[in-house]
Amino acid sequence: MFDIGSYFPPAIKTICIACVTVFLLQELSALLFHEAGVRFWTFGLGLVPYAAVFGFRIWQPFTYIFLHGGILHILFNLLYLAMFGADLERAWGSRKFYTYFFVCGVGAGVVDIIVKLLLDPHGRGTALVPTIGASGAIYGVLLAVAVIMPHRQVWVFPLPVTVSMRVFVIVMGAIEFFSTIGVSGDNVSHVCHLGGMLVGYIYLRRGSYGYSVRNYFSDWKRRRLKRKFEVYVRDHRDKPPSNPDNWVN
């Protein structure tokens, strides 16, 4: 008999349990305390850019990841996480997956804060709108899977077709990008989704940036030594050879 619990690696299970637990607490608070219960979670632990910076609520870029706005929101987020994150965690190990997940999630929150404060520096509009959900981190996970397993096939539900993981993520990224241009009014933080992908890409490529700097420094040292050698040869070109009488047979 197939045990579905054994299919998911430890980090995926822990993140899913944490999100479901917090979601149940959100629903219980809304049931018992109504609007006050909803605002406690959404505005207290959700990501409100103006409050996070000027209200010094530095925990919000971390806590907003575990909150969700409805059953479909958490269902699709955890479904994507389980479908694509499981193979990534098996390839990387739990510790590296945890690190990457939270780097993307927190990084997406920071990008969301920066963009919304630039658009609304006085906190009169978008900078006061809370963002909740693990979507930013999950978009980072999607990007990592596309980089590591680019030819993995994805079924485009409900169409009877499959595309490669690379194409799937490119299309998803394009949708999010163009959604930020127009005013969609769908209450989805597309900036946060793009931020997760951007931070994930930078994190995955961080080693190549270091190699570029190291190679540039090595090339500079090589050119410097070459110039010194050329100067030495030029300065000693016309000097007579040493006295052969000093040689000893």
How far from the centroid of its chain's Cα atoms is residue 160's Cα? Answer: 30
Q: Which fold is adopted by the domain 4-204?
A: Rhomboid-like fold (1.20.1540)
Please tell me whether the peptide bond between 240 and the residue prior to it is cis, using omega within 30 degrees of 0. no
SS3 assignment, position 58:
coil
Q: What tokens were used for 142?
A: 């999607």
**Residue ranges of E strands in the chain:** 153-155, 162-164
- Domain residue ranges of the chain, discontinuous segments joined by +: 4-204, 210-235
pLDDT in tens, the chain (249 residues): 445 556 789 999 999 999 999 999 999 999 999 999 999 999 999 999 999 999 999 999 999 999 999 999 999 999 999 999 999 999 999 999 999 999 999 999 999 999 999 999 998 888 999 999 999 999 999 999 999 999 888 887 777 888 899 999 999 888 888 777 654 444 567 889 999 999 999 999 987 655 555 666 666 677 777 776 666 666 666 665 555 554 443
Phi, psi of 56 (to 5 degrees): 55, 35
Contact 97, 87 (CB under 8 A): no
